[in-house]
């Protein structure tokens, strides 16, 4: 049990080379490099074990046994310690052996976990002497490498010591134990793991050696890669074929943008498929992922595809996969595409190509938006009159018609409509693949969100256009009615110029012969054609000549402005033309609609009527007529 390590150093004095050998004392008790159950006493070059009062040292010189022949200090204090008891300040206090600590009840002992063991691979040169702890090379390397590692852990407050346990071949695999002065919990283990992960080089005698490969941690019952410890409790750690470990996020974090699949292949189950840290798992996972990635090439915006689990099935291996998209929206849009691919595999191929071998499919493929809501894809093709039933022999689901008694609630018309909709929503892949409308309600929401506003907008625009067209047609109809008689063009007699500007006052109820004045006269004198009154017509604006005498009143010889003369004839052609306020309403009221009436074309001028002339223009016109006369 030597506690001194010899070290040699060569020095030169003049022409003489001297080798100076000195001893380095190691405290085995501090390094916990002993098997003492209770007390370790360090000596120069060695150590020995002892026991507390009430115990005796066992024959192995390390363990302690109760000495029942000795006086029990706590016998009269009504205390029942599970291991041992001592008096401190005349009060009984329970204590525990090495490697244990007193529990919260102050009576029982629990295991004290104060150390963590690591296995680290480095490029430190290996030799067979490093596997023998009795050789100087092992002892020197242990001291030098310990010094190189201690600095990395010294910043942890509870760090106590570090001891090299062994060296193994493979470059040089170093197994060492870090000891702390308190019991370790999950948070402290994570802190220690982070510090260890930062150790990428070890300095030995001013020379750097790199850490290669994965470092493993061993704590209580945990033996795992350091990367997996850093993943956390909720994440999943898996090994890749390149012997690289990877942390995968919990499924709950990616569920909103993921589709989950489950398929059973008729392949012999390997027990290592259940261990995500075994290379057999990594190899089969890679084969499955490549196979499904190949058939999903038509699906857009896939971020990645992973196997989540392998489980044993009486007929093969059940594989659970997750298909992760970049966004939630793309997951919804691509659901139908994934569904159709899986439906083709189940209904046509009935196998999955893995390494040039099509492994047969057992049962049915399931698809869902969550891990707990997986439905067989074939069931989504069943109509309302069918049930999806699993075959007991093949474990495959199939659509089976419901009994007639169960179909009474479904009318023939509804069945026909449903069948038509389903046939329309299906398309054929290679002539026989059926495309089924997506079950996802988000598709309906997306369609309504876009289509409904567009439909409402189109309806509003159409209504406005119809109203504008109706209004325009009505306006044109009124214009045609006011300006044109049936069977007559707009201005056959070319007299529109005599009316001046087309004002409502000149063609409606206003004017000298407007409908208002005519109706007033008709109520007093009568209308021989429309009211069955006597032949004689008397009107304040007609002379004795009746309709041919347009004067200012009965018995007056002064003509009105709107008539060219009392009589239109050849003898009146030299009379200067007059402007007219003629009204078609007057003609309609006064003429017999059963008789043909010919109106001679009046002599008109192209100048504006008095109604539309300002004073300056009226003066110019009057001056023109005065000069001509």
Residue 585's CB is within 10 A of a number of other CB atoms, namely 21
pLDDT over 90 at 120, yes or no: yes
Range 504-514 burial, b when 16+ CB lie within 10 A, else e: eebbeebbbbb
Structure-model confidence comparison of residues 275 and 535, the more confident one: 275
Range 236-261 burial, b when 16+ CB lie within 10 A, else e: bbbbeeeeebbebeebeebbebbbbb
Q: How confident is the model at residue 560 (pLDDT cuts 50, 70, 90)?
A: very low
Q: Distance between CA atoms of 166 and 386, rounded to whole angstroms?
A: 69
Q: How confident is the model at residue 434 (pLDDT cuts 50, 70, 90)?
A: very low
Q: How many CA atoms lie within 13 A of 595 on its CB side?
A: 9
List of domains in the chain: 1-70 (2.10.25.10), 115-231 (3.30.70.960), 238-441 (3.30.70.960), 496-628 (no CATH)
pLDDT in tens, 35-81: 788 888 888 878 889 887 777 888 888 888 877 655 566 766 778 88
Query: DSSP letters along 185-247, please?
Result: -HHHHHHHHHHHHT--EEEETTEEEEB-S--EEEETTEEEEHHHHHH-SSSEEEE-TTS-EEE
Q: Distance between CA atoms of 570 and 169, rounded to whole angstroms?
A: 141
Q: What is the pLDDT of residue 539?
A: 46
Q: Distance between CA atoms of 390 and 379, rounded to whole angstroms?
A: 10
Residue in the structure block whose two tokens are 């504006």: 608
In the chain, what is the straight-line distance between the N-terminal and C-terminal CA atoms, in Å?
158
3-class DSSP state for residue 526? Answer: coil
Candidate from 120-124, 342-346, 479-483, 594-598 with smallest mean pLDDT: 479-483
Q: What is the pLDDT of residue 443?
A: 67
Contact 320, 307 (CB under 8 A): yes
Residue in the structure block whose two tokens are 């909103």: 256
Q: Read off the pTM.
A: 0.51
Q: What is the pLDDT of residue 94?
A: 86
pLDDT in tens, 561-582: 444 444 444 444 454 544 444 5
Q: Distance between CA atoms of 577 and 565, rounded to whole angstroms?
A: 9
pLDDT in tens, 15-30: 555 555 555 566 677 6
pLDDT in tens, 90-116: 788 888 876 677 888 888 888 777 889
Residue in the structure block whose two tokens are 């005698």: 205
608 alpha-carbon distance from chain centroid: 75
Q: Where does 220-314 have alpha helices with state H?
A: 226-231, 251-254, 279-295
Q: Distance between CA atoms of 181 and 385, rounded to whole angstroms?
A: 72
pLDDT over 50 at 517, yes or no: no
pLDDT in tens, 318-367: 999 999 999 888 888 889 999 999 999 989 988 999 988 999 999 899 99
- Please state the length of the chain: 629
Task: Decide the pairing of beta strands 375-376 and 4-13.
Answer: unpaired
Q: Beta partners for 24? A: 5
Mean confidence (pLDDT) of the chain: 74
Closest CA to 311 of 279, 280, 270, 355: 270
Cβ contacts of 29 within 8 Å, gap of 6 or more: 36, 40, 41, 42, 47
Contact 215, 120 (CB under 8 A): yes
């Amino acid at each position: 049990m030597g506690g001194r390590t010899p070290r040699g150093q060569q020095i030169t004095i003049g022409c003489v080379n001297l080798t100076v050998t000195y001893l380095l004392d190691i405290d085995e008790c501090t390094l916990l490099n002993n098997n003492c159950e209770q007390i370790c006493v360090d000596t120069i070059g060695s150590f020995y074990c002892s026991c507390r009062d009430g115990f005796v040292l066992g024959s192995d010189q390390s363990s302690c046994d109760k000495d029942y022949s000795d006086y029990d200090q706590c016998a009269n204090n009504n205390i029942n310690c599970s291991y041992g008891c001592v008096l401190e300040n005349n009060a009984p206090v329970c204590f525990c052996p090495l490697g244990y600590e007193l529990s919260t009840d102050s009576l029982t002992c629990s295991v004290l976990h104060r150390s963590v063991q690591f296995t680290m691979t480095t490029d430190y040169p290996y030799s067979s002497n490093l596997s023998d702890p009795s050789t100087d090379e092992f002892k020197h390397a242990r001291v030098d490498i310990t010094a190189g590692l201690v600095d990395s852990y010294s910043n942890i407050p509870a760090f106590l010591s570090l001891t090299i346990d062994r060296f193994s071949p493979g470059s040089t695999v170093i197994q060492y134990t870090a000891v702390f002065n308190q019991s370790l919990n999950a948070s402290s283990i994570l802190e220690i793991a982070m510090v260890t992960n930062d150790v990428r080089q070890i300095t030995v005698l001013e020379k750097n050696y790199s850490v290669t490969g994965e470092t493993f941690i061993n704590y209580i019952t945990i033996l795992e890669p350091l990367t997996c410890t850093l993943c956390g409790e909720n994440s999943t750690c898996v090994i890749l074929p390149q012997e690289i470990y990877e942390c995968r996020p919990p499924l709950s974090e990616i569920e909103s943008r993921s589709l989950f699949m489950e398929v059973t292949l008729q392949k012999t189950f390997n027990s290592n498929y259940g261990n995500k840290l075994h290379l057999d798992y990594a190899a089969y996972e890679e084969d499955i992922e490549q196979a499904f990635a190949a058939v999903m090439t038509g699906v857009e915006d896939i971020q990645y595809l992973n196997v989540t689990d392998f489980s044993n099935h009486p007929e093969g291996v059940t594989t659970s996969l997750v298909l992760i998209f970049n966004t939630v929206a793309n997951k919804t849009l691509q659901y139908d595409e994934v569904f159709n691919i899986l439906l083709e595999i189940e209904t046509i191929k009935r196998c999955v190509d893995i390494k040039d071998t099509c492994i047969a499919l057992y049962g049915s493929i399931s698809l869902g938006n969550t891990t707990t809501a997986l439905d067989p894809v074939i069931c989504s093709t069943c109509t309302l009159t069918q049930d999806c039933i699993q075959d007991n022999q093949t474990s495959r689901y199939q659509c089976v018609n419901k009994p007639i008694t169960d179909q009474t609630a479904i009318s023939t018309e509804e069945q026909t409509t449903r069948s038509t909709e389903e046939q329309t929503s299906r398309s054929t892949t290679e002539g026989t693949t059926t495309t089924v409308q997506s079950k996802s309600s988000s598709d309906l929401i997306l369609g309504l969100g876009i289509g409904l506003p567009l439909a409402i907008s189109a309806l509003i625009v159409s209504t406005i256009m119809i109203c504008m067209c109706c209004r325009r047609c009505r306006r044109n109809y009124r214009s045609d009615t006011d300006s044109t008689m049936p069977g007559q063009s707009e201005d056959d007699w070319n007299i529109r110029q005599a009316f001046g500007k087309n004002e409502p006052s000149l063609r409606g109820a206003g004017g000298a012969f407007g409908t208002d004045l005519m109706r007033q006269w008709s109520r007093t004198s009568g209308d021989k054609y429309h009211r069955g009154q006597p032949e004689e017509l008397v009107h304040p604006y007609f002379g004795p000549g009746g309709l041919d005498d347009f004067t200012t009143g009965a018995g007056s010889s002064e003509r009105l402005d709107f008539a060219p003369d009392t009589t239109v004839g050849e003898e009146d052609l030299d009379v200067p033309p007059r402007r007219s306020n003629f009204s078609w309403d007057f003609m309609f009221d006064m003429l017999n609609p059963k008789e043909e009436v010919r109106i001679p074309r009046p002599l008109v001028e192209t100048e504006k009527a008095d109604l539309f002339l300002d004073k300056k223009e009226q003066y110019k016109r009057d001056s023109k007529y005065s000069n001509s006369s």
